Amino acid sequence: MSDAAEGSVGIVAAQRVVIDTPLLLDCGRSLSRHELMIETYGTLNAERSNAVLICHALSGDHHAAGFHEAADRKPGWWDNCIGPGKPIDTNRFFVVALNNLGGCRGSTGPSTVDPQSGKPYGPDFPLLTVRDWVRSQAMLADRLGIARWAAVVGGSLGGMQVMQWAIDLPERIANAIVIAAAPQLSAQNIAFNEIARQAILSDPEFHGGHFYDHGVVPSRGLMLARMIGHITYLSDAAMRAKFGNELKVAVPSFNFDIEFEVESYLRYQGQAFVDRFDANTYLLMTKALDYFDPARDFGDRLELAFARTRARFLVVAFSSDWRFSPARSREIVKALVDAGRDVSYAVVDSQLGHDDFLMPIPQYHAVLRNYLLRVSDEVGATIGVPA
Amino acid sequence: MSDAAEGSVGIVAAQRVVIDTPLLLDCGRSLSRHELMIETYGTLNAERSNAVLICHALSGDHHAAGFHEAADRKPGWWDNCIGPGKPIDTNRFFVVALNNLGGCRGSTGPSTVDPQSGKPYGPDFPLLTVRDWVRSQAMLADRLGIARWAAVVGGSLGGMQVMQWAIDLPERIANAIVIAAAPQLSAQNIAFNEIARQAILSDPEFHGGHFYDHGVVPSRGLMLARMIGHITYLSDAAMRAKFGNELKVAVPSFNFDIEFEVESYLRYQGQAFVDRFDANTYLLMTKALDYFDPARDFGDRLELAFARTRARFLVVAFSSDWRFSPARSREIVKALVDAGRDVSYAVVDSQLGHDDFLMPIPQYHAVLRNYLLRVSDEVGATIGVPA
């Protein structure tokens, strides 16, 4: 369990999976086929019982661990948690990460060329729900020959997919690990998303979502959207500790140049995001967040939604998270308890805010590790040298 | 003290005050003259000792109480607090409200025509600091023959002006009433302001601030800026109570139309703001907020800044305010105590958030009323029928 025992999954290659089965979506439309980019780490055991699905958050993708090339500066987005000897231990589990349908990292989404028109789908790509993602991920599981996940794991929007898995396909998920999530967005959460959307939609270079045809991207709007998001990912205290509120310059410039460290940080984050993310996918992701409300079909009684579940739950919240605070996780836990389900709950002492779900906080990783060791024992996961 | 005893100041008329004294600004530039729009309520007593200055917040102006015409739908922005028998009692005090320099309601500001060029100043109007406003307001006091304010009162950015008055002109302010303020912005506060500014600056219709010449306004950017501000004015709980997170429509529309109540509210607020506010003034106001830091000239020791003050202080915070939380007000109070100053402090139980400083919360108004009754007694304020 020491750091010395932890390793990297090393060089990994993404795979493209074509799903030919028609997918009926919540919006009423259907996709006759779709493609998903995935990565897998570790080895599926003979019983096919040790598979773990990683669901990503708003801007995540299938590259969750390891490196694509030896020269890569950064590993996958959850490399600190996934690997040999790590909390999601690839010596024990066969880990599957995907880029969700609607994404912009290779899976079918708004920036994909529509075979019918020969142009990117753009705004004609259907808006999706968390339920749609679960349906798509279930088709992926079928393709991989995984009848039942040992665990489905996700933080933030990823945690919402985990809950929906447990509700919609109770026989196909043994353990649901829901991290830094909420049972539905608050009005404030929706407000932040709406402003981000308006920033994109009102950018003249958005062109109603057909910006691909104009050879431009709505960079101003997408940059603003990302900056707004970043405020909600960090706690007030973390921003203070990280940036202070001191001027970067000795005397005020009395213009709108960058003067404060936090301005510099936000502009950098916003600009970097424009270079790697699609505006239509951003809109789609925020809308999926807003729509998520598994209790809606059960008379707004979350415990009735959870009464259908069969998984054991681990719910993890972070003390400094104000986007999806521990109070929101307690709503999930209370509904699970009311539904008579088996649930463990941990609140991790943290500083950074919502982004802590991506951080290697020892208490957090210990909670995941210990929970998953029990899962590993129960499903007879492979222990030893990966293939 | 019952509601029945409270009245309106009735129909009021704004006055234009021309300040011919050159005003040297913190940025190094100076204005040879400037004009301020003001309103006054109540009567200045013979000793000229009962004057109260109202400092406005980011989007406020000189119309603080009463009506301009009998047909007005809404009174001034703080009408619930200013009037005969109200907490800021116009039977006792001569109340002065102004539109700050740099504003857009008639006082000299970016939308004013520069006599030299014959065109609006636009981005050539100097950026201002809270200290500049205090200097301008002191010139106004000179013009009105007010050597010393019985009290200077303000919420949010207004409260910052109050603190600066007490520090910069200690002999001219008897009581400093600082409401829902902070001793400096946090990194998170600055981040919100920066995103609002970027929304305006990146709007193609901003035209580098010269939008007046193009017959347009940067409505998209200003609307986004206001929407971002609104999130910080309301508590998460208040937004939940006010809007819930229920869909306005029976089934999701799967497009970007308004679907949630909070979206409808934000778009309405944003649109209404575009019709009444100037984008350059908005930029200027947010920058003044970011620059405010009275401790900067005192080695970041706020207690040394406050050691110069002679006023008695009343500091009021609101429990649900997360923009300038009670913790920020406590920083002010602690520094005042450390400086050996006379300070009263009240935290008002509230629900709405930062906007509560504008609300007629009984506990809040009782605190103001009782404090100001003592002030009234001490300065020998007129009691009885106003002129």
SS3 B16: strand
Query: Which chain A residues are within 8 Å of B195, Cβ to Cβ?
Result: 224, 227-228, 231, 266
List the CATH number of the domain containing B203.
1.10.1740.110
Question: Residue type at B289?
Answer: L
Polymer length in residues for chain A? 387
Query: Does residue A2 surpass a pLDDT of 60?
Result: no
Q: Are residues A195 and A266 in the same domain?
A: yes
Look at residues B286, B305, B333 and tell me which one is the last residue of a structural domain: B286
- Which amino acid is it at A29? R
Quote the minimal CA–CA distance from A296 to chain B in Å: 9
Over residues A20-38, the mean pLDDT reads 97
According to DSSP H, which parts of B145-186 are helical?
157-168
**Could you tell me if B266 and B140 lie in one domain?**
no
The DSSP string of B234-254 is: S-HHHHHHHHTT-BSSSS--S
User: Which one of B220, B228, B231 has the shortest CB-CB distance to A188?
Assistant: B231
- Which two three-digit tokens encode residue B233? 């004015």
Domain-located, residue B318: yes
Query: Is 60 exceeded by the pLDDT of residue A387?
Result: no
Choose, out of A132, A160, A192, A195, the residue to mutate when testing the contact with B (most B CBs < 10 Å): A195
Angle between helices B261-276 and B236-243 (to 10 degrees): 110
Domain range enclosing A74 = 3-184+292-379
Question: Tokens representing B276?
Answer: 């009444």
pLDDT value, residue B195: 96
Query: If you average pLDDT over residues A290-316, what whole number do you get?
Result: 96
pLDDT tens, N- to C-terminus, chain B (387 residues): 444 458 999 999 999 999 999 999 999 999 999 999 999 999 999 999 999 999 999 999 999 999 999 999 999 999 999 999 999 999 999 999 999 999 999 999 999 999 889 999 999 999 999 999 999 999 999 999 999 999 999 999 999 999 999 999 999 999 999 999 999 999 999 999 999 999 999 999 999 999 999 999 999 999 999 999 999 999 999 998 988 766 666 678 889 988 888 999 999 999 999 999 999 999 999 999 999 999 999 999 999 999 999 999 999 999 999 999 999 999 999 999 999 999 999 999 999 999 999 999 999 999 999 999 999 999 876 555 444
The answer to whether residues B131 and B221 belong to one domain is no
Q: Which of A228, A252, A286 is the last residue of a domain?
A: A286
pLDDT mean over A256-263:
90
Over residues A220-243, the pLDDT tens digits come to: 999 999 999 999 999 999 998 988
Give the CA-trace dihedral at A220, A224, A226, A228, to 10 degrees. Answer: 180
Give whole-number Cα distances, A281 to A191, A278, A287, B22, B158, in Å.
Answer: 18, 5, 10, 54, 41
Cβ(B340)–Cβ(B333) below 8 Å? no
The tally of domains found in chain A comes to 2
A296 and A280 both lie in a single domain: no
Q: A316 and A178 in contact (C-beta within 8 Å)?
A: yes
Residues A140 and A175 in one domain: yes
Indicate if B100 and B166 belong to the same structural domain. yes
Q: Under an 8 A CB cutoff, do A194 and B252 touch?
A: no
On whether residue A56 sits in a domain, the answer given is yes
Q: According to the annotation, is B355 in a ligand binding site?
A: yes
A386 found inside a domain: no
One domain, residues B274 and B230:
yes
Q: SS3 sequence, A253-317?
A: CCCCCCCEHHHHHHHHHHHHHHHHCCHHHHHHHHHHHHHCCCCHHHCCCHHHHHCCCCCEEEEEE
Tens of pLDDT, residues A132-178: 999 999 999 999 999 999 999 999 999 999 999 999 999 999 999 99
| A45-75 pLDDT, tens digit each | 999 999 999 999 999 999 999 999 999 999 9
Are B72 and B168 in the same domain? yes
Of chain A residues 168-227, which have a CB less than 8 A from chain B?
A: 184-192, 194-195, 197-199, 201-202, 204, 220, 223-224, 227
For residue A38, being part of any structural domain is answered with yes
Is A354 catalytic? The answer is: yes
Q: Which residue has the tokens 């991506």?
A: A358
> Residue B292 to residues B133, B163, B299: CA-CA distances in angstroms?
11, 10, 15
Residues B82-119 have pLDDT tens digits of 999 999 999 999 999 999 999 999 999 999 999 889 99
Q: Quick count: other Cβ atoms within 10 Å of Cβ A47? A: 10
Give residue A227's Cα distance to chain centre. Answer: 18
**Residue A355 labeled ligand binder:** yes
CATH of the domain at A331: 3.40.50.1820
| Residues B50, B123 within the same domain | yes
Residues of A with CB below 8 A from B188's CB?
A: 231, 234, 236, 239-240, 262
Q: Is the dihedral of CA A280, A283, A286, A291 positive or negative?
A: negative
Query: From the candidates A354, A356, A365, A376, which is the catalytic residue?
Result: A354
B177 and B199 both lie in a single domain: no
A:246-275 residues touching chain B, CB 8 A cutoff: 252, 254-256, 259-263, 266-267
Does position A1 have pLDDT exceeding 60, yes or no?
A: no
A385 domain-assigned: no
| Residues B2-32: tens digit of each pLDDT | 444 589 999 999 999 999 999 999 999 999 9
Note whether residue B98 is domain-resident: yes
Partner A, chain B 278-307, Cβ-Cβ below 8 Å: 283, 287, 290-291, 293
ipTM score of complex: 0.93
| A186 vs B contacts (CB less than 8 Å) | 236, 239-240, 245
The answer as to whether A75 is a domain residue is: yes
Q: Do B162 and B57 lie in a common domain? A: yes
* Stretch A271-289: mean pLDDT: 97
Interface test with A, best of B125, B185, B188, B224 (most A CBs within 10 A): B188
* Rounded percentage of chain A residues whose pLDDT exceeds 90: 90
Q: Is residue A384 part of a domain?
A: no
CB contact under 8 A, A254 and B199: no
Q: Which of B243, B268, B286 is the last residue of a domain?
A: B286
Specify the pLDDT at position A6: 79
Band of pLDDT at residue A382, cut at 50, 70 and 90: low
Q: What angle do CA B179, A351, B290 make, to 5 degrees?
A: 40
Q: Which of A61, A79, A168, A321 is catalytic?
A: A321
* Statement to judge: residues A112 and A82 lie in one domain: yes
What integer is the mean pLDDT of A119-144?
97
Distance CA(B243)–CA(B265), nearest Å, equals 9
Chain A hits for B228, Cβ within 8 Å: 195, 228
